[in-house]
Amino acid sequence: MSDRTILITGAAGEIGHGLINALAGQPGVRLIAMDLREVPEELHHKVDSVHQGDICDRAFIEHVISLHRVNEVMHLAALLSTSAERAPEQAHEVNVQGTFNLMRTAAEQAQAYDEPVRFIFPSTIAIYGVEPSEKDELGPIREFQALRPITMYGANKLYCEAMGRYYGRYYRSITRGDRRPPIDFRCLRLPGIISADTLPVGGTSDYVPEMIHASARGEACVCFVRPDTSLPWMMMPECVEAILKLAKAPPLARCVYNVASFSATAGEFAEAVQRHFPGAELSFEPHAGRQSLVDTWPADVDCLRAREDWGYEPQWTLEQAMTQYIVPTVRARYGQAPAPEGAIT
Ligand code: SER
């Protein structure tokens, strides 16, 4: 058997793509891709097995986990914040019941083989609920502060963090005796993620990726939040690297970690995009509902815990991310000529 048999849910999504590309071909790693949607053909040869199905279907989850004797789960499948506000009950089914199905089945598998299953869970800045008046006073937010989500997505993720902590630390604590808990639960609270290769679906931090991809294609883009809206961000390669680093870290005393590279406003991103894609047509028409969600998310997060416990290192500033990752990658993707001499690249 391989050392690591990793089930990746939400494999057809943005982070799924990134993780499969990074893990494919690593020695001792078997990848099992799962998604409700069809997993794109270009990923098939990079994984050992592909399963199309619903994480809410417990029999399907049991079949896949036991068939492959999965010992690690990277659970990316979720309805993001805007989608979840449009269909809150469905979001609860997918984000909570789906996660419970996976965790419970992983725990059963762990008990059957007497080997804990590692469970990597991306949580989110949406688990925070910060009053606008508190933002300056709180500064970079710490993991235990302002846990008052106003969205179904944030509430779902916060509960699943607690469920993971339970399976990872306290499972059946009255009757378990000296047996280890079945799950080794590790969670990152992700900021807004920007990929130069793919576009997100149904998130509320999507306004920055939308600006970048539209401008690279020469299309106009209307940003749905105010220019002064500030959030923490990281680029997809940094996100993938952080997930892989957390997954490989030795046993950890804590299980939930903030990560982010830098904070920036929508206006700062618009200026950076305009500098690098001269002629980009960007305008702002805030959508009251979506704005009200991001207004409660922290402008900055404190990553000290992740640095101390597993050596997390933020990589890029906004400008470095533009020049070293976004601009060259989207130019290659949309077939644009390199910038003329003298333009900032
Ligand atoms: N990117 C997520 C969203 O916008 C937040 O973590 O829903």
For ligand 1, atom 3, name the residue with the nearest CA: 203
In this predicted structure, what is the pLDDT of residue 85?
A: 98
Positive or negative torsion for Cα 104, 9, 155, 59: negative
> DSSP letter string over 146-197?
-----SHHHHHHHHHHHHHHIIIIITTTTT-TTPPPSEEEEEEEE-EEE-SS
Q: What's the CATH fold of domain 78-333? A: Rossmann fold (3.40.50)
Domain ranges within the chain, ordered by starting residue = 78-333
Atom of ligand 1 nearest to the CA of 190: 6
pLDDT per position as a tens digit, 316-336: 999 999 999 999 999 999 876
In this predicted structure, what is the pLDDT of residue 233?
A: 98
For ligand 1, atom 2, name the residue with the nearest CA: 203
Question: In whole numbers, what is the pLDDT of the chain averaged over residues?
Answer: 95
Instruction: Indicate whether residue 229 lines ligand 1 (CB < 6 A).
Output: no
Atom of ligand 1 nearest to the CA of 297: 5
pLDDT per position as a tens digit, 93-144: 999 999 999 999 999 999 999 999 999 999 999 999 999 888 888 999 999 9
Average the pLDDT over 66-79 and give the result: 97
pLDDT per position as a tens digit, 80-97: 999 999 999 999 999 999
For residue 180, how far is its CA from the centre of ligand 1 (angstroms)? 34
pLDDT per position as a tens digit, 52-61: 999 999 999 9
Residue recorded with tokens 């619903």: 54
In this predicted structure, what is the pLDDT of residue 132?
A: 86
Exposure b/e, 261-298, CB count within 10 A at least 16 = b? bbbbbbbbbbebbeebbeebebebebeeebeebbebbb
CA dist 90 and 98 (Å) reads 11
Average the pLDDT over 140-167 and give the result: 98
Which three-class secondary structure state does DSSP give residue 305?
Answer: helix
Residue recorded with tokens 């576009």: 199
